[in-house]
Chain A
Amino acid sequence: MAKYSLSVNGKKFDVDVLPDTPLLWVLRDSIGLTGTKFGCGVAQCGACTVHLNGTAVRACTLPVSAVGTKEVTTIEGLSADGSNPVQQAWIEEDVAQCGYCQAGQIMTTVSLLRKNPNPSDEEIHAALGGHICRCGTYTRIKKAVKLAARKGGKI
């Protein structure tokens, strides 16, 4: 076991875990932030996507020992009330079916739009192609990404 001090959603958390524990399980099992989801464990589905210093990463394959002092943002930290324009676009387009993958999809979209406020279809595909929505909400995800881009605001 090893002790780590993590900065998650602007708060400090001290955890004592196995050094190879993926950040996903530290968030979910040690810190209690269950909004970040487990889907595959091999960085293939994107359900576990969080931000590390603002960049979308797969928490299921990122060992906690590699996080260091970087700021972790999870879906719970994106906004207190769902007011981020990407979250709002997801509601407006009524994207979710089962909803399980959507936190990850939203985290990647936020990261995308911060770097590229007006992505083309190809750029949306490239960014979100690493995600799986088993319910097949892709057409609405595309609409929501475009809506968020169109509306702008502080993403």
Chain B
Amino acid sequence: MSTQPITPVSKSVNRRFFLKSGALAGGGLLLGLHVYGKNLNGLELDDASVFEPNAYIRIDAVGKVTIMAPNPEVGQGVKTSLPMLVAEELDVAWDTVNIEQAPLDINKYKRQLAGGSGSTPTSWESFRKAGATARQMLIAAAAAKWSVAPGDCYTENGFVVHRSSGKRIAYGEVASVAATMQPPTDVVLKDPKDYKIIGKRIKNVDNLNIVTGKAKYGLDTRREGMLFAVVARPPAFGQKLVSFDDAGALKIPGVKKVVRVENKVAVLAETTWAAKKGRDALVLQWEAEGKLESTPDHQAEFSANILKTTEKPVRADGNVEDSFKLADHVLEAVFEAPFLPHAPLEPMNFFAHVTADKAELFGPNQAPERALNELSRVLELPKEKITLGLSDRMGGGFGRRLMADTPLEAALISKAAALPVLVVYTREDDMQAGHYRPAGMYRYRAAIGKDGNLDAWHLTVSSINQPNGSRENSFPAGAVPNFRIDSINLESKITIGPWRAPNHNFLAFTEESFLDEIAYDLKKDPIAFRMELLDRSSSNSYGKRIYDPERYRAVIKKVAEMSNWSEQGKNGRYKGFGAHFSFSTYAAQVAEISVSNGKIKVHKVWCAIDCGRVINPLGAEQQIEGGIIDGLGHALYGELTFDKGTAQQKNFNTYKLIRIQDAPDIETAFINTEQFPQGLGEPGLPPIGAAVSNAIFAATGRRMRKQPFAMQPLI
């Protein structure tokens, strides 16, 4: 964090600024976010040369513009794309701007969260307003200095220009005057046709730091007096610690301390290696509490559950029972989802320094406000006594870092040891102590009416620790007159959590594979069949519908054109289609594959996407490419199984992730880009499993009913 000073002004001005800003932000962006005379760390300052109109912008006297990036950066690109919004409206040249990761500050910022693909839609308005507010104050300052009307001034790349005289002044030169200006009661945002930054292909702001090894991740945190901690956690879900002997651990040179925290034992040492050796030298006695679960146990329970009907279905339109009775014929398919670990490449870690009356936490977390709440509760410290800094970058998250367990664990270890500590998970720890994508089973039944139409759709899902394992408004909901979803929870000691596009990540594969089966049964082209269903949804929606059938149709039409869909089987290559609506974004994909000696090769993937306006096309394409490769890799290879509560895959030698030779070429097209912008961290992922499974069917006649595909015989 920089500690640039800012302008002090009188208390009365402070107060007015506070109120007015709050009003103009209309929803909290600027509300209570800033007190003149304090910098971002809350320190009193006396330099009068810096303009810091809100929590996003700092302009110093030499004109250096710093834009804060408050949202956690896990690789989804918000550290680049969101400051673009501020810079656009502030009207500064992008390559002159400095970007800084902000720490958690619940008073200054509204939603410091990397989840639900939500940063873009929730920041779109407020971040632009922050830039526009500052720009108008700079105009007012220059106008006052020149004694001209503000209306006769405009801005241009970091300068205020007086239209009549052509006089120009740099932002830095009026920064101190701007700091005394009243914020505007209303700000005018740019017409999109005037955008100079939004919509441009802007590179990752940390590229240079990344390629030179200077970028700092959580594991790179170093503090005076800090020790590294490696932790012994229960080797199986459902075990508790009975006793431990740390004599061997304490003999390892470099090991300084061993502390027990709840059901865990932490070894603190001068180096990570000594801490790990110390942890491995602990003699630990564990005891099972009740039955330890294995994957076949879950599968047996799922299999029984999916035959049940619940009293309270998640969704019920029409009457599926009657429809099945009257059906010409019925189709059925059961799909199985394995557990998946998130496996971010930077293993879980967090720094904590907890003393009697305060706590400093620092590291990679996707939901720092949630972590702060948990820390406050567990440490019994008021939130004001806890600082939570975010590492400049995070080595992936995929949902794992939404959980507060790691910062909390670090805090408790630091408190127990009375030392500053960086808790480091080994890869094996990371795999074992996960909050996994839940395993589940999905039974689909479809009734084909006497008229040859899809008349009923019934999904019964059972998954781990999820009362609702579905997304009940997902297509084809709205397109089928009789539609029902039952969901049956299977309680488990295995912890689950949101995994990139929760539920969607597997549901899309099941829905779109089953629709493909129905299309083939009806002897219809799979894409034409979807279009027909969307027509039905459009003309006569059955029950609640959260997607727009026209936008859905548009991405399907686009991807069919891009991929030359009707050309099937040429040169031994086969195409499969999948589409999905998630996080307010429409994604349609076609995968082209070949199968040789039982091995699947995905050559190319086309993706048409409607996420509304694209803020940074370079970053947006990257998210789609990453989502497709992530989804493809897990559909081909991802599977975590349990034996007596212990994850059987412990590292990348047994848990296979996709590698470079399996990555297909990807072509992405964005359409409908005048619409409100949505986030892209997740929506690119869900359709690919179905696109590939349907291509496998086209190539081999075999239906993939479970993932991972690559582990199943194809010939």
Contact = CB atoms under 8 A, between A and B. Distances in A.
Q: Do A and B bind each other?
A: yes
B346 A129 contact: no
B660 A76 contact: no
Contact of A82 (B211, B270, B660): B211
Contact of B660 (A36, A94, A125): A125
A133 interface: yes
B271 A98 contact: no
Interface stretch (B142-150, B235-243, B389-397): B389-397
Interface in B596-640: 618-619, 622-623, 625-630, 633
A100 B216 CA distance: 9
Contacts of A132: 345, 652, 657, 659
Contacts of B428: 41
Among B73, B204, B206, B252, residue most surrounded by chain A Cβ atoms (within 10 Å): B204
A22 B273 contact: yes
Give the interface size class of chain B: 35 or more
A136 B253 CA distance: 40
Contacts of A28: 219-220, 272
B544 interface: no
A30 B271 contact: yes
Given A39-B427, A91-B211, A29 B660 contact: no
Interface residues of A, number: 59
A21 B345 CA distance: 21
Contact of B254 (A18, A41, A129, A135): A18
Contact of A99 (B254, B272, B273, B393): B393
B347 interface: yes
A97 B626 contact: yes
A99 B222 contact: no
Given A18-B277, A135-B626, A141 B660 contact: yes
A38 B425 CA distance: 10
A90 B213 CA distance: 13
Nearest to A21: B273
B666 interface: yes
A98 B80 CA distance: 12
A135 B214 CA distance: 19
A114 B17 CA distance: 60
Nearest to A124: B660
Contacts of B623: 97
A128 B213 contact: no
A76 B653 CA distance: 28
Contacts of A32: 222
A101 interface: yes
Contacts of A76: 212-214
A34 to B, nearest CB: 4
A139 interface: yes
B604 to A, nearest CB: 11
B207 A101 contact: no
B217 A134 contact: no
Nearest to A134: B345
Nearest to B397: A98
A79 interface: yes
A66 interface: no
Contacts of A44: 651-653
Interface string A93-105: 0101111111100
Interface in B367-417: 393-398
Contacts of B216: 34
Nearest to A25: B273
Contacts of B426: 41
Interface in A105-155: 106, 124-125, 128-129, 131-142
B658 interface: yes
B423 to A, nearest CB: 13
A37 B346 contact: yes
A47 B345 contact: yes
B211 A98 contact: no
A65 B619 CA distance: 43
A135 B619 CA distance: 13
Contact of A97 (B75, B272, B651): B75
Contacts of A41: 426-428, 651
Contacts of A140: 622, 625
A82 B216 CA distance: 16
Contacts of A17: 254, 271, 273
Interface in A37-81: 37-42, 44-45, 47, 74-76, 78-79, 81
A29 B227 CA distance: 10
B652 A40 contact: yes
Nearest to A99: B210
A39 B428 CA distance: 10
Contacts of A18: 252-254, 273-274, 277
B204 A100 contact: no
A75 B393 contact: no
Nearest to A64: B273
Interface of B: 73-77, 203-204, 206-208, 210-217, 219-220, 222, 228, 252-254, 270-274, 277, 343-347, 393-398, 424, 426-428, 618-619, 622-623, 625-630, 633, 651-653, 657-661, 663-666
3 closest A-B pairs by beta carbon, nearest first, are A35-B213, A136-B629, A98-B75
Given A21-B274, A90-B210, A125-B661, 12 more contacts: A18-B274, A25-B272, A39-B345, A40-B651, A42-B651, A90-B211, A91-B211, A96-B207, A97-B77, A100-B393, A135-B75, A139-B665
